[in-house]
Structure 1
Amino acid sequence: MKITAEMDIMNMKVPITTTIVQNKGFRSESTVQGMTVVQAVNGDKGWSINPATGNTKPTALPEDAVKSMANETDLTGLYNYKEKGYKLTLDGEEDLAGAKVYKVTMILPNGVRRINYISKDTFYILKIVAQTKMNGQDVMSENIQSDFRAVDGIYYPFMSEVTTSAMPGTKMGLRITSLEVNPKIDPKIFEMPQ
């Protein structure tokens, strides 16, 4: 899958391209103030380039960052959860901004916990609250999803609003401008350059 989007963060518009191969690779490229930031995972290895932090050459990511990003290679989420070793519990029903939702907690084998708020009417996932580890610290994030559109018969949220405990008080908006399903992807883009 290849996603082209625009992130709105701290009054800046940041173009971002994300490329994902199911259970194999994840790569995100964004341009901030003329600098290109790259993050990628390939199986159990990950790397980044971030000129804003002085990393102008590919640098290995810490293990917890790799684990967190590796979760993003699962494009099928709740589907086949048992086969993937995920634990699911139905925690009841709630009202979310006027929508009736099911509250479903999903725990991944690596301990990441995600609470999915699923519309009773459409079965779209309207909100995800996730708890992960980053740099040894617990990080909570909330992702509110909207503007669902069909691409090749599958509905995707084209708008997201994300808040995270790693950046208190900051809201990040993400608007997808294009989404390609099953494009040709060179697997080398996920490998750390030498």
Structure 2
Amino acid sequence: MKKQLIALVALVAIPAISFAQTADEIINKNITALGGADKIAAVKTVQYDQSMSIMGMDMTAKSTIVVGQSLRNDMSVMGQQITQVVDGDKGWAINPMQGGSTPQALPDDQVKMQKGNTYLVGTDLATAKAQKYPVELVGKEKVNDKDVYNLKVTRPEGVANYYVDATTYQVTGMKATVSMQGQSGEVKMQYGGYKTIEGLTIPSTIELNSPAMPGSINMTITNMVFNPKVDPSIFAMPK
């Protein structure tokens, strides 16, 4: 009877262990596809330009990141300059298109959400592994006629699902339910245009769909620079 009980426990436990190993294996293969954990960890600061299009309107932006800590976006829209900054657990913005010419503190929920963008684009699963976020393999499914693995990641700002190409192990998309200012909605991103820069293969195009926007935003990333010198004062809220 005792032997039978042990055998039964083993049968129940083995699939669970295999399932967890499979999720970890997918993330490890994604990290390899990116260029390796050492390459990712070596990037401490990042700068890049973005061109964006939404509803026929073109925008440009410059982003400066201290990985895991700070983010500054300077965006040009219809001749207006919009600045948004996250630094640690605080943030601020200047948005003349909303009638503000002076810096205003960002709400805590917006800071929390934007803090997730202080990492190198495309390295979300590597970050999840490094930060020991809970990860669950939901399963394998078809997205746009491609086999993908669906990984559910519980991040500090909320739960997100990442879709990993079953052949290349590159992230093809993600979706997450976000809450801001008492409202919640589903945000979706599609990644493409993977390019290799200094040994790291990361996406250069992103299609973003958000309930806060009337249509999809198509973004192209250019002039990516790793480890530029960044003056920390650019993140300080002007007085």
TM-score if structure 1 supplies the norm length?
0.94
Choose which of 169, 173, 194 in structure 2 pairs with 1:123.
169
SS in 2 for 1:69: helix
Give CA-to-partner distance per residue, 1:84-124, whole Å, 9 cap, x none: 241110001111112211000111134x1111000111111
SS in 2 for 1:100: strand
- The answer to whether residue 87 in structure 2 is matched with residue 46 in structure 1 is no
- 1:82–1:118 Cα change, 3 Å: closer
Residue type of the alignment partner of 2:180? M
Choose which of 188, 191, 202 in structure 2 pairs with 1:156.
202
Percent identity (aligned) = 33
Choose between structure 1 and 2: higher helix proportion.
2
Deviation at 1:156, TM superposition (A): 1.2
Choose which of 72, 79, 82 in structure 2 pairs with 1:34.
79
Matches within 5 A, 1:134-149: 134-149=180-195
Residue type of the alignment partner of 1:14? M
Matches within 5 A, 1:78-97: 78-79=125-126, 81=128, 84-97=131-144
In the alignment, the residues of structure 2 paired with residue 122 and residue 91 of structure 1 have an alpha-carbon distance, to the nearest angstrom, of: 19
Residue 62 of structure 1 is matched in structure 2 by 107
- After TM superposition, the runs of 4+ consecutive aligned structure 1 residues lying more than 6 A away are none
Residue 62 of structure 2 is matched in structure 1 by 17
In the alignment, the residues of structure 2 paired with residue 81 and residue 53 of structure 1 have an alpha-carbon distance, to the nearest angstrom, of: 35
Q: In the alignment, is the contact (CA less than 8 A) between 2:207 and 2:216 conserved in 1?
A: yes
In the alignment, the residues of structure 2 paired with residue 181 and residue 136 of structure 1 have an alpha-carbon distance, to the nearest angstrom, of: 37
Choose between structure 1 and 2: higher strand proportion.
1
Residue type of the alignment partner of 1:125? V
Q: In the alignment, is the contact (CA less than 8 A) between 2:128 and 2:155 conserved in 1?
A: no
Residue type of the alignment partner of 2:226? V
Deviation at 1:78, TM superposition (A): 1.7
Gaps of 5+ in 1: none
- 1:82–1:173 Cα change, 3 Å: closer
Number of aligned residue pairs? 192
Give CA-to-partner distance per residue, 1:45-84, whole Å, 9 cap, x none: 0000000001111100001001011111133422253552
Q: In the alignment, is the contact (CA less than 8 A) between 1:140 and 1:166 conserved in 2?
A: no
In the alignment, the residues of structure 2 paired with residue 80 and residue 19 of structure 1 have an alpha-carbon distance, to the nearest angstrom, of: 18
Deviation at 1:44, TM superposition (A): 0.4
In the alignment, the residues of structure 1 paired with residue 228 and residue 192 of structure 2 have an alpha-carbon distance, to the nearest angstrom, of: 24
In the alignment, the residues of structure 1 paired with residue 213 and residue 127 of structure 2 have an alpha-carbon distance, to the nearest angstrom, of: 33
Q: In the alignment, is the contact (CA less than 8 A) between 2:186 and 2:211 conserved in 1?
A: yes
In the alignment, the residues of structure 1 paired with residue 86 and residue 164 of structure 2 have an alpha-carbon distance, to the nearest angstrom, of: 28
CA RMSD for the aligned pairs? Answer: 1.4
